[in-house]
Amino acid sequence: MGFLNPAYLAALAAVAIPLLIHILSRRRVPVINFSSLRFLQPSDRRSMKRVNLRRLFLLLLRMIGIALIVLAFTQPTMKGRLATLFPSESIRACCILLDRSYSMGLEQEGGSLFDEARRRVIEILGEYTPEDEVMIVLFDSSQEFLYRGRMDGPLIGELLSETVSSWGTTDLSGAFGAGIEMLDQARGGAKELYVVSDFQRSSLGLHRSSTAQSASGREREVGLSKHGEDPKDSGPIRIFLVPLKAESEMNVSIERVGVPRTAIHRGELASVELLVRNSGSGSSERFPLELYIDGRLVIEKEIVIKPNGYAKETFALPTERNGWIFGEAKKTPDRLRADDRRYFVLHVTGRVKVLLVADQSAFYLEQALEPEGVEGDIELMTRTYSGLTSTDLDGTDVVVLGPGGEPRQEDLVLLERFVESGGRMVVFIVPELASVADRLSAYPLSMDFPDLEEGFLTISEPTSGNRFLGPFDADDIEAMTKLRFLRAAVVSGVPDARGFLFFSSGSPFMWEERRGEGGCLFVAADPRPGSGDLVLSPYFLPLVQQSVLEVVRRGRSEEGIIIGEPLALPVAASGEMSVGLLQGLSAEGPETFIMSSVDQEEWFEGIGSGKGAVPVVGAPGFVAIESGGETLDVFAANVAGGAESELMPAPGEEVADSLGIEHWMTIEKGRSVEEAVRYAREGREITFGLIMAAALILVIESILSQAQFEGKSDVG
């Protein structure tokens, strides 16, 4: 037996009150012998014995009644077979957390782990009545309600039959915290939480949310609650872990696809690197690795991977056309098929035709765009501001405005039309081009050109994942942050989210904007010697070339995004955009399925606040973002891979420790859910039974006391 409020046990001293009253109320009467009554003494002694026995019995009833009332305040609980004699809670609240992450798709004899999980959920539901409240939550890296309401077996069974495992990873602590919070708000007398999962070690503590952290601080035990808690949070929660174990932990997965992050030109060989892992500890694995381009098999190679080992393979793929090339790496399917393939995108372009408008002071800028004696990515043509004509813009991809003059009014109108009709422009903001930048920008710019003879600006350390700096390594970036700028434009009015790089003062060094069908990239630096360290440094050429290639970039040559993560907003985006999932890869290209349509401003606000209409990809394939009939970006969407593919289940103790649970029950495979649940429920609170017993005893005491009083009256 246990007590929920043991402090009340001290009140058992009140049991002595009837005894003290009995002792203190006894009257001492003097004895006087009468000769005529001496023959009645034996009869009187027999009568007094009966009276005293009745008094002692009433005293005992009063003491037992008080003891039962005090014990009822302590809220005692019982375990064992005697607990079945006491009624259990009339209504229960049950929350079942069902793991649907991609590791649950592991195939084994009799179906997948997720199929087994659904069967276990049906078993659990068999322990509840139509009056009980049931909540079923599907979870991977997020949570989704499958059902909430009164127990309805047929309806829940139908909903479960339609669910499948997802492509996401596991956020166990986030789901657990959400389950605790939902049960805290439930109205049932008994609250029970079930976690049905394969409990991959990779899921422990990776996404620990604030909800889970607050939940983990509560005491959780079968039949245990804390005195003094808020009534909504005072109910005990029984926690059951239902692990699903794979028959074998062997798995081979494609972990990563590495593709070039710099421009790829038609006719070049694109280097594609595959990282494949054998997470099993049994034997080496031999299988063919295949690469497809636009649905056609182009390379097949047999590889061998040792147990717990990796294999890194590099392939050179031909690029026979411009535009996006859709790639797919595949291996022989095994029991976990979600990680047997991986998608990638290559963006192939021709040489970029660039028109530089500047005077002779832009010599270093000209050399950076097209180094003498080197055939690079840029085909350059130069003009002065006075010699610019509309014919010069025909066939031009990018116009670069450098120092040495200011466009005439008619030329500025011509350049605006060029951008709005789909052209691209790079503007170096020097004093003579301030009015041009102000006219081309959609933001209310405020520009200042301070004299920095007694000081200088530097470039701030960029945030991680800055796509503009993709071709640069960590040493290059560190060196660039040490460059000093003696002449630069200090600009305000540009949202931080639009900037690629920033000065140490906080003003933008470089940002991009969409205008019409085209776009502009603004650089707040003077590309002439004497303006600082940049022009004569080894980083001027790659920065200038990357600026041009970035502004004409239509897609990203990299592996892409992870399923379940929000899409990044294309910098050049504006207005209404559609997000499409491309599937059905073939030689004719993938088929497009529109996932969502979202406005640029809503997307932009959602990224900053963590809320709003930020699209999330839920399946592998290719994702395209379009606006006004133009494709802004194309991504490859893949499963996270890595730890989720290791198939390393954690024991119950490790799971409980990661969730902050002190008391729980594990329902292992092969153990009956009914048996485990009934065993956990044997510890029942018997307060109601004690109150009823105390009431019955006090009623009996009252009846007997009344009978004794009436008997005395008759004798009188």
3-state secondary structure of 266: coil
Residue 6's pLDDT is: 75
Q: At 603, is the pLDDT very low, low, confident or very high (cuts 50, 70, 90)?
A: very low
pLDDT in tens, 60-75: 888 888 888 888 888 7
Q: At 558, is the pLDDT very low, low, confident or very high (cuts 50, 70, 90)?
A: low
Residue 585's pLDDT is: 47
Q: At 43, is the pLDDT very low, low, confident or very high (cuts 50, 70, 90)?
A: low
3-state secondary structure of 237: strand
In this predicted structure, the answer to whether residue 373 has a pLDDT above a threshold of 90 is: no
In this predicted structure, the answer to whether residue 54 has a pLDDT above a threshold of 60 is: yes
CB–CB of 509/503 below 8 Å?
A: yes
Question: Comparing 90-94, 157-161, 247-251, 511-515, which segment has the lowest mean pLDDT?
Answer: 247-251
User: Average pLDDT, stretch 335-353?
Assistant: 87
Residue 28's pLDDT is: 57
Which of 504-508, 628-632, 672-676 shows the highest mean pLDDT? 504-508
3-state secondary structure of 111: strand
What residue has token string 């929000």? 566
Residue 44's pLDDT is: 55
Q: How far is CA 304 from the centre of its chain?
A: 35
Which of 459-473, 511-525, 614-628 shows the highest mean pLDDT? 511-525
**What's the CA gap between 216 and 179, in Å, rounded?**
12
pLDDT in tens, 314-342: 998 888 887 888 889 999 999 999 999 99
Could you write out the three-class secondary structure of 649-672?
ECCHHHHHHHHCCCCCEECCCCCC
Could you write out the three-class secondary structure of 473-531?
CHHHHHHHCCCCECCECEEECCCHHHEEEEECCCCEEEEEEEECCEEEEEECECCCCCC
Task: Look up residue 539 and give its DSSP letter.
Answer: T
Question: Comparing 69-78, 426-435, 462-471, 602-611, which segment has the lowest mean pLDDT?
Answer: 602-611
Bigger pLDDT: 532 or 1? 532
pLDDT in tens, 101-122: 999 999 988 899 999 999 999 9
Residue 544's pLDDT is: 92
In this predicted structure, the answer to whether residue 209 has a pLDDT above a threshold of 60 is: no
In this predicted structure, the answer to whether residue 556 has a pLDDT above a threshold of 60 is: no
Residue 579's pLDDT is: 64
Domains and CATH numbers, the chain: 2-83+688-709 (no CATH), 90-248+647-685 (3.40.50.410), 252-344 (2.60.40.10), 352-552 (3.40.50.880), 561-638 (no CATH)
In this predicted structure, the answer to whether residue 490 has a pLDDT above a threshold of 90 is: yes
CB–CB of 74/6 below 8 Å?
A: yes
pLDDT in tens, 6-19: 778 888 888 888 88
CB–CB of 190/89 below 8 Å?
A: yes
**What's the CA gap between 381 and 366, in Å, rounded?**
9
Write the burial class of residue 691 (CB in 10 Å: 0-12 exposed, 13-18 middle, 19+ buried): middle
In this predicted structure, the answer to whether residue 483 has a pLDDT above a threshold of 70 is: yes
Residue 11's pLDDT is: 84
| Cα separations in angstroms, 442 against 334, 438, 494 | 53, 8, 9
**What's the CA gap between 403 and 523, in Å, rounded?**
12
Q: Average pLDDT of the chain?
A: 79
Question: Starting from the edge strand earliest in sequence, which strands make up the sheet with 309-318, in order?
Answer: 252-258, 269-278, 309-318
Residue 283's pLDDT is: 83
**What's the CA gap between 76 and 693, in Å, rounded?**
14
Residue 27's pLDDT is: 58
In this predicted structure, the answer to whether residue 248 has a pLDDT above a threshold of 90 is: no
Task: Look up residue 56 and give its DSSP letter.
Answer: H
Amino acid code (one letter) for 385: Y
Q: At 198, is the pLDDT very low, low, confident or very high (cuts 50, 70, 90)?
A: very high
Show the DSSP H helices in 555-686 as ranges: 600-609, 652-659, 673-681
Q: At 49, is the pLDDT very low, low, confident or very high (cuts 50, 70, 90)?
A: low
Amino acid code (one letter) for 493: G
Residues of the chain with pLDDT > 90, as a percent, come to: 32
**What's the CA gap between 227 and 235, in Å, rounded?**
10
Q: What is the pTM of this model?
A: 0.62
Residue 535's pLDDT is: 93
In this predicted structure, the answer to whether residue 175 has a pLDDT above a threshold of 90 is: yes
Q: At 409, is the pLDDT very low, low, confident or very high (cuts 50, 70, 90)?
A: confident
405: alpha, beta or left? (left if phi > 0; alpha if psi -120 to 50): left
Amino acid code (one letter) for 242: V
